[in-house]
Amino acid sequence: MKTFQSTTIAIIAATCMLIAMMLSCTNAQRLSTQFGHLMSSQALIKQINLDPQSTFKAQLYPRFEWGHVPSATVSDRMCVQSSAKFQERLSTQYILECDTRDFGCNGGYLNTEFEFELKRGIPTEKCVPYSAVNGTLANCPSKCVNGEPLVLYKTKAVQNLTGEHDMQQAILQGGSIMTELDMYQDFLYYSSGVYQHSANLRQPIAKFVVRIIGWGVENGVKYWIVPNIWGKTWGMQGYIWIRRGNNESNIEKDAFAFQVY
C-alpha cells in the first residue's frame, strides 16, 4: 500500500482536528498567504511537501456523504479563514436530523443543503455528536447534548468552481472544497495509485459527494487528494488520488467553495 512520502507533492489546505487530515490550519493559512497569489508558478508550488497524518471515523451508512462532506468542508474553511481561531468540527448529525427538505440517511440534494447552512446554520460536533452509525435518526435537537443552548454557525455564500485552476486557487486561498462526481463500479474497489475509471465502464452507478483537500503528481500524472468517508480500511488508508486536469468522473465540472467570513 502506498503512503504519503516526502517525495509526494501535496498541497493540503487546512484541517483543524477534522476527520480527514490532522494538519494544523495555522500551517494551511501560512501556505495560503505565501502561495495563494503565485498560482501561475507551477515550479514554486511543487516545492511544497507536507506529510499529513490521518484520523478517520468510518462512516458506515451509505448515503451520509451529502451531510458529512459539507459540514467537514465548512469546518475546514472556518478554521483557515479565521486564522485558526475556530478549531471545532461542525455537526453532521444536526444536518441529517434537522434538514427536513432532504432525506436524512437516504441522501439529499446539495442545493437544499447549501441553503440550510446559509439560512439556519450548524452547531459543533461537541454540541450534537455523530450517532447515526446504524442509520437511525432522532428528532431535531433544540439544545446541545449537555443541555446548553445551540450556537449555530452559518455560511455567507457558496462559490461555484469549474476547472482545475479555479479549484486549486480556492483551496490555497481558503481551505478544502467539495464536488459531486460520477461514481463508477471500479471506484468501490480502489486500493492505490491514481484513479481513472475503466473505459469499459460507460455508465456511473451513482453520484457521490467528496471533499478535495489538495493535489499532487506521481510519475508525471496529476491527481487530486480526496479523503473518503468509508474509513481507513478503504483505499490508501481512507484516501483516494483521483486524476486531475481531465475532468475524471466529472470531478472538475461542478465544485464548490464556502465563504464563511
Convert the pLDDT of each residue in 10-41 to its tens digit: 333 333 333 333 334 544 444 444 444 334 33
Q: Is the pLDDT of residue 211 over 50?
A: yes
Q: For the segment 82-97, what is each residue's pLDDT rounded down to a tens digit?
A: 888 888 999 988 988 8
Instruction: Determine, yes or no, domain membership for 5.
Output: no
Instruction: Determine, yes or no, domain membership for 197.
Output: yes
Q: pTM for the full model?
A: 0.77
Residue 133 vs residue 171, higher pLDDT: 171
Range of the domain at 190: 25-259
Q: Is 116 helix (H, G, I), strand (E, B) or coil?
A: helix
Instruction: Determine, yes or no, domain membership for 6.
Output: no
pLDDT at res. 65 = 57
Judge contact between 126 and 94, C-beta under 8 A.
Answer: no
Neighbours of 171 (CB within 10 A): 31
Apex CA 148: angle with CA 122 and CA 22, to 5°? 50
Q: Is 68 helix (H, G, I), strand (E, B) or coil?
A: helix
Q: How many folded domains does the chain comprise? A: 1
Instruction: Determine, yes or no, domain membership for 17.
Output: no
- Residue 163 sits in a domain whose CATH number is 3.90.70.10
pLDDT at res. 108 = 57
Half-sphere exposure of 50 toward its Cβ, with a 13 Å CA cutoff?
A: 24
Instruction: Determine, yes or no, domain membership for 62.
Output: yes
Q: How far apart are CA 136 and CA 104, in angstroms?
A: 9
Lowest-confidence range among 22-26, 75-79, 192-196?
A: 22-26
Instruction: Determine, yes or no, domain membership for 173.
Output: yes
Instruction: Determine, yes or no, domain membership for 44.
Output: yes
